[in-house]
Amino acid sequence: MKTITIDPITRLEGHGKIVIFLNDGGEVENAYLQVPELRGFERFCEGRRAEDMPILTARICGVCPVAHHMASTKALDAAYGVEPTPTAKKLRELMYSGYTVYDHILHFYFLAAPDFVVGPDAPPAERNIFGVLKKVGLDVGREVIKHRAYGQKITEILGGKATHPTFGLPGGVSKGLNEEERLEIEEMGRSSVEFAQFTLDLFNKVVLGNQDYVDLILSDPYQLRTYNMGLVDDDNRVDLYDGDIRVTDQGGKEFTKFQAGDYLDHISEHVEPWTYSKFTYLKKIGWKGLSDGPDSGVYRVGPLGRLNAAEGMTTPLADQEYQRMYETLGGKPINSTLAFHWARLVELLFAAERVVELATDPGITDGDLRNPVGEPGEGVGVIEAARGTLFHHYKVDEEGLLEKVNLIVATTNNYAPICMSIRDAAKGLIKGDEVSEGLLNMVEMGFRAYDPCFACATHSLPGQAPLKVEVYDHERRLKRRIERNLG
Amino acid sequence: MINAVIGIGNLLRADDGVGIHVVQRLEDEITGCEAVDMATAGIDLLGHIRGREKVVIVDAIITGSEPGTIHRVSTHEMRSPIFAKTHGLNLHGTLMLGQLLYPDEMPKKLVILGVEIQDITSFSDKLTSNVQRAIPRLIEAIKKEFI
């Protein structure tokens, strides 16, 4: 068997690389993204005080600290048997919406736009934010930074710190909102709604206005007919902060709906020897390997998974975009991996609208911030991180110390489909020893759509990050290497 | 505040957190300068350096020298690739973006102090001994930048 290795991130970030296995005929058989192990982190947490977890887990990485903070806070609500107060719930969702705004903005302009605005065939040296700014202008660049900062500012106002908030407590939050802060957040929210609309217009013009891109989105290598998963409210509409977990099938019909605490009845984990990460799958369907269709328990989370698993958005502008997306791409569910980018922008608009809705809620400045907690026990918290469903599960002893910690992060939920998308993108681009120059682009586009997060990544300089393809013959001799910096 | 010392790193990954450890110490020890814990955030660094006069960034570094060695790197010496992170830009790319978008607001003096590290793979909130011993020297080096 021949092996191709693509190493997309720095060696400092651990085991994150792509390995492509070829069969004896030299064709792609399977592909795997090797992601870092989180088990070490879970062990690191055990024995610590449960109440420290919202701050500790937010330190895992700088990409989704608010998602971990909130999932952890909700797990503590459940473990201490307490419902947060109505105002605390609203404030948590307000902070969370701000986080979604800044996370989705970063992904679109820094990671998605290089492929579409600059072009998938452009030289790698131009397929980056600088290439994007050359096309759209520096003023847009300043708007990107400004609105990214707004999202952070909202976190900071409520949580003290933008990157690592100290906000969520079991049963509530640590701080309320005064009128001056409320007004500031409302204004930032309104500006973010406008910027989200601008970004959707840009997507319309650049991507949907170009038939080649539409064909690429709808092309075979980027289709996966998996189940879809996401949090929904009582009316089955997208909810990023709370609700039940809904799973829909390949026809768009509800397969199951469950509460966070029951996740182990619905999700199982499959282990492979060559990677630290586990593959999650729907327990009732079963693990059938890296395959799609109704008989395989593989499901997708994240923006497209969420929109497919729901029946609409609760905010008016985002709901219009939601309907338009499904009308344009041929109805529900959408199976195209590249449609994650569009779904992400629908959510950007939704989150910005929620900021305004919550900031103008008459009760948002009320003082009921925390309910008294009960006795410690076991609890599960679930939240929709920007990149997908995130579970925190804690067992707390009577002294308030953690006995057991289990995290299922978004990238783990999407692990099987990410591997399948890489495999499908690579197929047709590798024939025997011949590796097409387009391979790196197609593979990068395949996994980047999911916005995978190598959650426990470190950050040390110099942080070189070549994207590496290595082709080995059947005796494991290196035949060819293609290398470039990750754009 | 017109001057800032900014720590970058992952506090839970052993020596990778050296920049955060030192900034947390400095909060009580340094005057005339804001101590900022940036964690591992990337482009959001721009919000903390724009409009400042002097900025010192403390980060972990791997060059192959003795753990605990302090490297002083000025921005024009940075030659690392721009796109070293899965989310956004690395430090070099972030500073380039700042220069492009806000040329008039970038600090007049910007110095990076890189501390040679040993362990970045363990989940630990403690530094290894060689890196821990470098902290007093690092604090002196930071203070010297603001004289």
Q: Does A44 touch chain B (CB under 8 A)?
A: yes
Return the CATH number at B13: 3.40.50.1450
Question: How much is the pLDDT for A78?
Answer: 98
Q: pLDDT: is B51 or A426 the higher one? A: B51
Choose the closest CB to A59 out of B39, B46, B88. B39
- On the question of pLDDT at B1 being above 80, the answer is no
Least CB-CB distance to A486: which of B41, B83, B120? B83
Residue A121: CB atoms within 10 A of its CB come to: 11
Q: Write the pLDDT tens digit of every residue in A137-176.
A: 999 999 999 999 999 899 999 988 777 788 999 999 999 9
Which residue among B60, B63, B84 places its CB closest to the CB of A465? B84
For chain B, what is the total number of helices (H) and then of strands (E)?
5, 5
The answer to whether A35 touches A415, Cβ cutoff 8 Å, is yes
For chain A, give the percent of residues with pLDDT over 70: 86
Instruction: Say if the Cβ atoms of B41 and A162 lie within 8 Å.
Output: yes
C-alpha to C-alpha distances, A306 to A302, A326, B60, nearest whole angstrom: 6, 13, 38
Angle between the N-to-C axes of helices A340-359 and A179-203, in degrees from 0 to 180, rounded to the nearest 10: 160
- Interface membership of B82 toward A (CB under 8 Å): yes
- Distance from first CA to last CA of chain B, Å, rounded? 16
Which 320-379 residues of chain A touch chain B by CB within 8 A?
none
| Chain A contact for B122 (CB, 8 A cutoff) | yes
Please, which pLDDT band fits residue A465 given cuts at 50, 70 and 90? very low
Please give the average per-residue pLDDT across B9-24, as a whole number.
90
Q: Cα(A235)–Cα(A244) distance, rounded to whole angstroms? A: 11
Residue A62 pLDDT: 65
B35–chain A Cβ distance below 8 A for any pair: no
- What sign results for the dihedral spanned by CA atoms A357, A360, A363, A366? positive
Residues facing residue B73 across a β-bridge: B112
- Which chain B residues are closer than 8 Å to A459 by Cβ? 8-10, 16, 40, 59-60, 85
Q: Are strands A466-472 and A478-485 parallel, antiparallel or unpaired?
A: antiparallel
Does B86 reach chain A within 8 Å, measured CB to CB?
yes
Mean pLDDT to the nearest integer, A288-300: 97
Mean pLDDT of chain A, nearest integer: 87
What are the pLDDT digits (tens) for A392-418? Answer: 999 999 999 999 999 888 888 999 999
Structure-block tokens of residue A85: 């107060």
pLDDT for position A426: 82
Q: pLDDT for A84-135, tens place per residue?
A: 999 999 999 999 999 999 999 999 998 889 888 988 878 777 888 899 999 9
CA distance B98 to chain A (A): 10
pLDDT of residue A160: 84
Separation between Cα atoms, residue A248 and residue A416, nearest integer Å: 17
Q: Quick check: A269 pLDDT over 50?
A: yes
Contacts of the segment A133-141: beta carbons below 8 A, 24+ positions apart = A133/B100, A133/B101, A136/A202, A138/B100, A138/B101, A141/B97, A141/B100, A141/B101
SS3 letters across chain A: CEEEEECCCCHHHCCCEEEEEECCCCCEEEEEEECCCCHHHHHHHCCCEHHHHHHHHHCCCCCCHHHHHHHHHHHHHHHCCCCCCHHHHHHHHHHHHHHHHHHHHHHHHHHHHHHHHHCCCCCHHHCCHHHHHHHHCHHHHHHHHHHHHHHHHHHHHHHCCCCCCCCEECCEECCCCCHHHHHHHHHHHHHHHHHHHHHHHHHHHHHHCCHHHHHHHHCHHHECCCEEEEEECCCCCECCCCCEEEEECCCCCEEEEECHHHHHHHEEEECCCCCCCCEEEECCCCCCCCCCCCCCCCEECCHHHHHHHCCCCCCHHHHHHHHHHHHHCCCCCCCEHHHHHHHHHHHHHHHHHHHHHHHCCCCCCCCCCECCCCCCCEEEEEEEECCEEEEEEEEECCCCEEEEEEEECHHHHCHHHHHHHHHHHHCCCEECCEECCCHHHHHHHHHHCCCCCCCCCCCCECCCCEEEEEEECCCCCEEEEEEEECC
Express each pLDDT in B67-92 by its tens digit.
999 988 766 666 554 444 445 677 88
Which residues, other chains included, contact B25 with Cβ-Cβ below 8 Å and sequence gap of 6+? B135, B139
Domain range spanning residue B118? 3-145
ipTM rounded to 2 decimals: 0.90
Token pair 């955030």: residue: B41
Q: Which residues on chain A are in Cβ contact (under 8 Å) with B46?
A: 145
Q: For testing the chain B interface, which of A127, A135, A461 should be mutated: the one with the most B CBs within 10 Å?
A: A461
Measured distance CA(B39)–CA(A166) in Å, rounded: 14
Interface test with chain B among A451, A460, A468, by most B beta carbons within 10 Å: A460
Structural domain total, chain B: 1
Residues in chain B within 8 Å Cβ distance of A16: 86
The pLDDT of B109-130, averaged and rounded, is: 89
According to the model, what pLDDT value does residue A316 have?
98
Does B16 contact chain A (CB < 8 Å)? Answer: yes
- Assess A463–B contact: CB distance below 8 Å, yes or no: yes
Is the model's pLDDT at A298 over the cut of 70? Answer: yes
Contacts of A62 in chain B (CB under 8 A): 10, 39-42, 87
Question: What's CA A320's distance to the chain center, in Å?
Answer: 23
In chain A, what are the domains? Answer: 2-34+414-485 (no CATH), 39-169+177-217+357-400 (1.10.645.10), 224-335 (no CATH)
Rg of chain A, C-alpha, whole Å: 22
pLDDT tens-place string over residues A342-396: 999 999 999 999 999 999 999 999 999 999 999 999 999 999 999 999 999 999 9
CA proximity to A177, closest of A364, A314, A450, A379 = A364
**pLDDT of amino acid A38:** 59
pLDDT score for A343: 98
Find chain B residues with C-beta within 8 A of A454's C-beta: 86
State residue A37's pLDDT score.
Answer: 58
Cβ contact B83–A485 (<8 Å): yes
